[in-house]
Amino acid sequence: MKQHILPALKLTFISIIVLAGIYTLAIWVVAQAGPNHGIGETVSVNNKVVGYKLEGQNFTADNYFNSRPSAAGYNAAGSIGSNKGPSNPEYLKQVQDRVDTFLVHNPSIKKEAIPAELVTASGSGLDPDLSAEAAMVQVARISKARNISEDKLNTLVVQQTQKPLLGLFGTEKINILQLNIALDKLK
């Protein structure tokens, strides 16, 4: 028994030092080299912080581009998916409620044209981005609410669209916080 306990204790002690000490220190050092020293990239308007670039925000007003629903209630401390499968009745009701709400606020859109990301939460529950398609489907509502031409809003969406890294990695996306800030600057 002694021949098993001593090596197990040594391995536990080494694992604690490597995983809790050295690895944590290495990640902290790398974070210090990043923007804002690993705290997160803030977005400011008129020298006032209005949000974080990589954290979803709750936009539901008709005069703004709506963000993706959040399973975490847009609380970064509680980042979590819903853990409900596509056959879960509670989940299906939640998605149907979101579809119904979207259709009430966007009467010119057919149910089949609603991008899934506008009615389903992301895995983290805090996704700050939408596809260009999900933004474009909201243009008619915002145009009416703000009395801005749809062409002007379409141009804004195209300008705010971030291309994939090196044109290969990832998909086109739009940060909703930055898009709504740019929307507020339109006259």
Share of the chain above pLDDT 70, in %: 98
The 10s digit of each residue's pLDDT in 77-88 is: 767 777 778 888
Of 115, 133, 117, residue with least CA distance to 68: 117
Rg (CA), the chain: 22
Q: Note whether residue 45 is domain-resident.
A: no
Q: pTM of the full predicted structure?
A: 0.75
Is residue 123 situated within a structural domain?
yes
136 lies in some domain:
yes
Q: How many domains does the chain have?
A: 1
Q: Is 176 inside any structural domain?
A: yes
Residue 73 lies in a domain: yes
Whether the per-residue pLDDT at 44 is higher than 80: the answer is no
Q: What is the pLDDT of residues 85-122, one digit of tens each?
A: 888 899 899 899 999 999 999 988 899 999 999 998 87
In a domain, 98, yes or no: yes
Does residue 144 form part of some domain? yes
Q: Quote the domain boundaries for residue 157.
A: 52-185
Which spans in 57-113 are helix H?
89-105
Among 101, 74, 33, smallest CA distance to 177 is for 74
